Amino acid sequence: MESVVVALGGNAILGRGVKPTYANQLKRIMESAKSIAIGIRRSRYGIIVITHGNGPQVGDEFLRNEYSRKVLPPLPLHMLTAETQATIGAMLQRCLLYEFSRLHIDRDVEVVITHALVNKNDTAFEKATKPIGPFYNRNELKNEMKSGAFDYVHEQGRYRRVVASPKPLKVLEIGAIKKLASSGAVVIAGGGGGIPVIKSRIGYAGVDAVIDKDYTSQVIASALDVDRLSILTEPEYVYMDFPKNKMPVKNVRLGRPMPEIKFMEEGTMKPKVEACMQFISNGGNKACIGNIKNMESANGGVFGTVFRK
């Protein structure tokens, strides 16, 4: 049986333009859980670890902190990632257990609150690149910028807040993740890229940043030595010249780098491609980037843009 790390995108948990209510997110997560469960049943994976993003959700929590600061002191950004790990993890866990019961899949589902070690001198702290929270038009942005000195990026005709996104060096809970996954449980870990921490005199200290979940997914996949890394998102493929020509890339071979990667958006498709290539470089067999619904009908778990040695 193959082993796999499945990375679920934050925007796949909450679609673009959808009001970020609990009901809407639960509905989307239920749809995602159904696709994952069907894919698991058809491919009969051994070790299964599911990671997830939190870009929209951590941004919403950030706004709640901003608007309630007159009543309650705000939490640091790294603790908002901890909150979203718990809330998204709990919803995904319940939805997976329901789908497993419906499809007669006899597996436990466990959530591991995950910390990711980063380098305090990472140059990513000098330039914010990770989009979080809602999208704004030009007029909304003017009002939003009054709340504080934040960085914003122009993305698909709208604007979105960006924060620092350092690369993860390792996942502190990797031993626990491995034990649970090896026991047969489906493990939900690395949520939101993990809670970013640096080494300090007292052990580890949280830092204000949001790690890209794709890089953390690769770190987990390589550490567990799994066969496959599947990154589930909204597009069906990686596209070159997007959004101009939307040319799909269906196969990528290691040693044949894609020069167009430098034109991909920071914090969105670029880390997905880099994570897949690094996973293959580290010894992984296959990596995929594609629409989550295509996982249901995938032949042997292969779908979307496929990366191979």
Q: Residue 222 to residues 6, 45, 146, 156, 276: CA-CA distances in angstroms?
A: 13, 17, 43, 32, 10
Who's near 157: CB < 8 A, 6+ residues apart?
Answer: none
Cβ contact 214:272 at 8 Å:
yes
**d(C-alpha 31, C-alpha 268), whole Å:** 22
pLDDT digit string (tens) for the chain, length 309 residues: 789 999 998 666 877 677 888 999 999 999 889 988 988 888 778 899 999 998 788 878 877 887 787 888 888 889 999 999 999 999 999 999 999 999 999 999 999 999 999 999 999 998 888 777 767 777 666 666 555 556 767 666 677 778 889 999 999 999 999 999 999 999 999 999 999 999 988 899 999 899 999 999 999 999 999 999 999 888 888 887 665 667 888 888 887 766 555 556 555 788 899 999 999 999 999 999 998 777 766 666 678 999 998
pLDDT at 10: 64
* Other beta carbons within 10 Å of 18: 13
Closest CA to 165 of 13, 55, 74: 55
Cβ contact 62:75 at 8 Å:
no
pLDDT at 257: 62
Closest CA to 185 of 49, 85, 89: 49
pLDDT at 142: 64
pLDDT at 90: 96
Q: Could you give the residue numbers annotated as active site? A: 10-11, 130, 213, 272
pLDDT at 189: 98
Q: If you ran DSSP here, which 8-state letter would residue 263 be given?
A: G
**d(C-alpha 178, C-alpha 307), whole Å:** 24
pLDDT at 300: 65
pLDDT at 144: 63
Q: Name the CATH superfamily housing domain 4-308.
A: Acetylglutamate kinase-like (3.40.1160.10)
